[in-house]
């Protein structure tokens, strides 16, 4: 119970870096401070526990817990949780991924302690009352139905299920109606006990604060959390055969995804594939796929590629939506572009332009301070360190034309690409 916990001397290590400081508490929780001169502040709590850590038969549990954290704690009801920051103009939110759970808050500078105490309360002292669990099950069932009505979203989940078949990475983060209905409080409590390792939790703050102020508050609120050294074993998904699958759905337009497993966050080829992905179908209208498929041939309104590196694997994919009769033409053009990057080296000017565009997009992303803070916290969790922008740019600039050719041939070989197609129902 919270009232029986006594603050302990918790600060064991301080690291002073270029633009941030790191504090490690004796219970293992690490605290990241990124000083920024602003009246707006942000903080987040990143927990190394996501949907891939669920037991067999429990898909959706991590996401369900994230929802329930907002419902009741030992000292607050739902309204008190939701109003705690909103009453001072702040914002509270959360999300779940395959590997992480993230709680985040944005607020005016004077309300740091209010935000910090609230995140501590919901993350570590939620009570999961039965009545709230039943209500939230209905909410999530509606969320699942909503996604099924959005083929451009649903196809992502189904494609991951294809690529990571038989592995928890292939399970839908939302779960299934059957699994969600089956959850009991014991499932939530067991998942937290097994996965909320305090040595794999990062609390991060971005704002106009001194280290001394943050140190005092984290000692007060996070220093009292009992140490949890639970060990989870994540197994990498096994290789699978290339698949092609067509699904008939009551939709008006065809939706398609193709891709393959890719590099993990720890593999040296990651920067090369990040650059290649940006060149092919990343952010911006000048990507090769967008210029060829949309601008030149007018086939698809949306075409994009994505590379998601995970701790022990990764996924590269291309998505587009178009009229059914144009699918084969679109695929032919896509395969043609992929063949180009496998066989033709970029010229010196082309490579330089690709790097400048990618670096510029990263620099512009620095305007999203919450996004930057979460990225830094995840980097600390994954690598034990945070690269500066200069170090990130150096890695991108270090990618050679040979690197791009090598990565393209390893990941984008047509024979290695799986394909999932959503097709409209046949007209009578």
Query: For residue 349, what are its two tokens?
Result: 């000017």
Taking Cα atoms as reference points, which of 372, 270, 361 lies closest to residue 315? 270
Tell me: do 124 and 254 sit in the same domain: no
Does 289 reside within a domain?
yes
Q: Are 15 and 21 in contact (CB under 8 A)?
A: yes
Does 234 reside within a domain?
no
For 320-345, write each residue's pLDDT tens digit.
Answer: 999 999 999 999 999 999 999 999 99
For 148-201, write each residue's pLDDT tens digit.
Answer: 889 999 999 999 999 999 999 999 999 999 999 999 999 999 999 999 999 999
β-pair type (418-424, 314-322): unpaired
Tell me: do 275 and 161 sit in the same domain: no
The whole-number pLDDT of residue 282 equals 87
What CATH number did the domain enclosing 198 receive? 3.30.830.10
For 417, counting Cβ atoms within 10 Å of its Cβ (0-12 exposed, 13-18 middle, 19+ buried), the class is buried
Model pTM score: 0.92
Determine the Cα–Cα distance for residues 88 and 90; give it in Å rounded to an integer.
6
Tell me: do 249 and 216 sit in the same domain: no
Tell me: do 286 and 204 sit in the same domain: no
The whole-number pLDDT of residue 9 equals 37
Q: Number of folded domains in the chain?
A: 2
Tell me: do 95 and 210 sit in the same domain: yes
Q: Give percent of the chain with pLDDT exceeding 70.
A: 95
Q: Please state the φ and ψ torsions of residue 228, each to the nearest 5 degrees.
A: -125, 115
Does 386 reside within a domain?
yes
Q: Please state the φ and ψ torsions of residue 15, each to the nearest 5 degrees.
A: -120, 125
Tell me: do 33 and 169 sit in the same domain: yes
Does 232 reside within a domain?
no
Beta-carbon count within 10 A of 51 CB: 25
Domain residue limits at 392: 244-424
Question: By three-state DSSP, how is residue 50 classified?
Answer: coil
Taking Cα atoms as reference points, which of 221, 214, 196 lies closest to residue 8? 221
Does 237 reside within a domain?
no
Does 248 reside within a domain?
yes
The neighbouring-strand residues paired with 315 are 261, 308
Tell me: do 149 and 200 sit in the same domain: yes
Tell me: do 35 and 68 sit in the same domain: yes
CA–CA distance from 423 to each of 244, 254, 333, 368 (Å)? Answer: 13, 5, 19, 37
Beta-carbon count within 10 A of 386 CB: 20
Does 238 reside within a domain?
no
Tell me: do 204 and 255 sit in the same domain: no
Tell me: do 253 and 152 sit in the same domain: no
Task: Identify the DSSP state of 73.
Answer: B
Does 227 reside within a domain?
no
Per-residue pLDDT of the chain (428 residues; tens, 9 = 90+): 333 333 333 444 555 456 899 999 999 999 999 999 999 999 999 999 999 999 999 999 999 999 999 999 999 999 999 999 999 999 999 999 999 999 999 999 999 999 999 999 999 999 999 999 999 999 999 999 998 889 999 999 999 999 999 999 999 999 999 999 999 999 999 999 999 999 999 999 999 999 999 999 999 999 999 999 999 999 999 988 899 999 999 999 999 999 999 999 999 999 999 999 999 998 878 899 999 999 999 999 999 999 999 999 999 999 999 999 999 999 999 999 999 999 999 999 999 999 999 999 999 998 999 999 999 999 999 999 999 899 999 999 999 999 999 999 999 999 999 999 999 987 44
Q: Are 120 and 221 in contact (CB under 8 A)?
A: yes
Tell me: do 208 and 285 sit in the same domain: no
Q: Alpha helix (H) ranges present in 58-184?
A: 61-68, 78-86, 112-124, 130-148, 151-163, 177-182
Question: By three-state DSSP, how is residue 335 classified?
Answer: helix
Tell me: do 153 and 282 sit in the same domain: no
Q: Are 284 and 304 in contact (CB under 8 A)?
A: no
Q: Alpha helix (H) ranges present in 149-249?
A: 151-163, 177-182, 185-195, 211-221
């Amino acid at each position: 119970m919270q009232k029986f916990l006594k603050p302990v001397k918790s600060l064991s290590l301080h690291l002073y870096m270029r633009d941030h400081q790191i504090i490690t508490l004796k219970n293992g929780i690490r605290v990241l401070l990124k000083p920024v001169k602003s009246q707006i502040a942000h903080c987040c709590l990143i927990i190394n526990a996501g949907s891939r850590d669920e037991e067999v038969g429990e898909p959706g549990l991590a996401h369900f817990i994230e929802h329930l954290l907002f419902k009741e704690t030992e000292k607050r009801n739902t309204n008190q949780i939701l109003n705690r920051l909103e009453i001072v103009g702040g914002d509270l939110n959360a999300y779940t991924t395959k590997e992480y759970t993230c709680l985040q808050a944005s607020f005016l500078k004077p309300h740091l302690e209010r935000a910090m105490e609230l995140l501590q309360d919901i993350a570590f002292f939620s009570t999961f009352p039965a009545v709230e669990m039943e209500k939230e099950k209905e909410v999530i069932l509606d969320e699942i139905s909503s996604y099924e009505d959005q083929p451009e979203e649903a196809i992502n989940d189904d494609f991951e299920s294809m690529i990571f078949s038989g592995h928890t990475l292939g399970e839908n983060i939302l779960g299934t109606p059957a699994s969600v209905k089956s959850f009991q409080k014991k499932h939530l409590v067991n998942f937290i006990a097994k996965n909320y390792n305090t040595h794999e939790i990062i609390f991060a703050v971005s704002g106009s604060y001194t280290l001394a102020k943050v140190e005092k508050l984290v000692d007060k609120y996070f220093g009292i959390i009992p140490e949890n050294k639970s060990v989870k074993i994540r197994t990498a998904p096994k290789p699978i055969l290339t698949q092609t699958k067509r699904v008939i759905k009551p939709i008006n337009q065809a939706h398609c995804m193709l891709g393959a497993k890719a590099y993990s966050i720890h593999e040296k080829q990651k920067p090369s594939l990040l650059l290649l992905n940006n060149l092919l179908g990343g952010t911006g209208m000048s990507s090769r796929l967008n210029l060829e498929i949309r601008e030149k041939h007018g086939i698809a309104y949306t075409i994009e590629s994505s590379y998601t590196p995970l701790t022990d694997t990764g996924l590269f994919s291309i998505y587009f939506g178009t009229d059914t009769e144009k699918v084969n033409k679109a695929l032919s053009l896509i395969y043609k572009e992929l063949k180009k990057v496998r066989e033709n080296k970029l010229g010196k000017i082309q490579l330089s332009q690709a790097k400048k565009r990618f670096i510029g997009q990263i620099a512009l992303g620095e305007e999203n301070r919450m996004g930057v803070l979460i990225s830094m916290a995840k980097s600390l969790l994954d690598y034990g360190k945070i690269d500066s922008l200069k170090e990130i740019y150096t890695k991108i600039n270090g990618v050679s034309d040979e690197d791009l050719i090598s990565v393209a041939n390893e990941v984008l070989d047509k024979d290695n690409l799986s394909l999932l197609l959503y097709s409209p129902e046949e007209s009578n």
